């Protein structure tokens, strides 16, 4: 079985594949101070929830945007699971040229989701229009927009503060504004402070997403499928006319694809 791990700034997603089938998916809070042994304990407990253990793993692939967490994670997999993980980074075969400058500055998670979006919803899918590109909007700690041209080619994108960061900054800097639940208010015009804050966060973010997607499409000579993923993807997509597809499986499916392209014999088991 293949262990796929995506270490994000806030959460770590763990998936286990049997060949191409996802048999287990779990999430952890990311800790920058993980030691090798602490991560091994957390991972073993996580796998146990899916009735799995280290002995079930044949290989692993890791995408990590938290540098202090990468070495302890890889050491834990090597020492306890007896696998040498494939790390998403420079030199890995992605199946698309990276036009970012320099290429190694692109976050591993952005490459993973771009590869998966192209394969599942762009020209990599034989049922899709090969002349269309893909724009991936990932609602994580930061909200990222990744642009994949037909070919495919990874062109680059946009990085903006995530909706959670924006909310935290608002509550921290405005003493009289209370924390509120992140949900869509009944109307854009809030009749009380809570609704007014919710409107600013939700509809303000929808406006940002719609504006950026339209500006991206104005700059490129092709049409594109807009794919949303991440924590607030569903909330934003239901209120926006620019998002075509919500796909929460992008990161794990992208890790599986990259593993297949780099270690095909191990993926096949």
Number of residues in the chain: 269
**Candidate list 6, 109, 119, 247, residue with the active-site label:** 109
Active-site annotation holds for 109? yes
Report the alpha-carbon distance of residue 222 to residue 123 in Å, rounded: 12
Q: Which residues of 210-219 are buried (b: 16+ CB within 10 A; e: fewer)?
A: bebbeebbee
Q: Which of the 8 DSSP states describes residue 137?
A: E
Neighbouring C-beta atoms of residue 221, cutoff 10 Å: 8
Contact 250, 6 (CB under 8 A): no
Q: In what order do the strands lie in the sheet with 86-87?
A: 21-29, 11-18, 2-7, 59-64, 86-87
Residue 87 neighbours by CB under 8 Å, 6+ apart = 61, 62, 63, 64, 70, 74, 108
C-alpha torsion 73→79→80→86, nearest 10: 50
Exposed/middle/buried for 154, CB within 10 Å: 0-12, 13-18, 19+? buried
Report the alpha-carbon distance of residue 182 to residue 194 in Å, rounded: 10
Q: How is residue 5 written in tokens?
A: 């791990």
Angle at 118 between CA 158 and CA 231, to 5 degrees: 55
Q: How is residue 22 written in tokens?
A: 């996802």
**Residues labelled catalytic:** 109
């Amino acid at each position: 079985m293949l262990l796929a791990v995506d270490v994000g700034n806030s959460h770590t997603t763990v998936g286990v594949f049997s060949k191409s089938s996802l048999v287990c998916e779990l999430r952890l809070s990311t800790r920058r101070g993980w030691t090798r042994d602490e991560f091994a304990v957390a991972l073993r407990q996580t796998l146990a929830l899916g009735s799995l253990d280290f002995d079930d793993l044949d290989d692993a692939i890791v995408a990590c945007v938290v540098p202090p967490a990468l070495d302890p994670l890889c050491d834990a997999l090597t020492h306890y699971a007896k696998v040498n993980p494939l790390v998403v980074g420079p030199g890995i075969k992605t199946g698309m040229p990276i036009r970012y400058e320099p290429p190694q500055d692109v976050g591993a998670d952005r490459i993973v989701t771009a590869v998966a979006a192209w394969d599942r919803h762009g020209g990599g899918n034989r049922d899709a229009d090969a002349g269309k590109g893909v724009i991936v909007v990932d609602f994580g700690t930061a909200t990222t927009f990744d642009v994949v041209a037909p070919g495919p080619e990874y062109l680059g994108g946009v990085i903006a503060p995530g909706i959670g960061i924006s909310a935290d900054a608002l509550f921290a800097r405005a003493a009289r504004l209370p924390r509120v639940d992140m949900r869509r208010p009944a109307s854009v015009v809030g009749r009380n402070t809570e609704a007014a804050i919710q409107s600013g966060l939700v509809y303000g973010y929808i406006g940002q997403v719609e504006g950026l997607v339209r500006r991206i499409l104005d700059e490129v000579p092709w049409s594109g499928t807009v794919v949303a993923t991440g924590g607030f993807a569903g909330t934003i997509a239901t209120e926006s006319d620019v998002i075509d597809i919500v796909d929460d499986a992008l990161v794990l499916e992208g890790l599986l694809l990259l593993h297949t392209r780099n270690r095909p014999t191990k993926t096949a088991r």
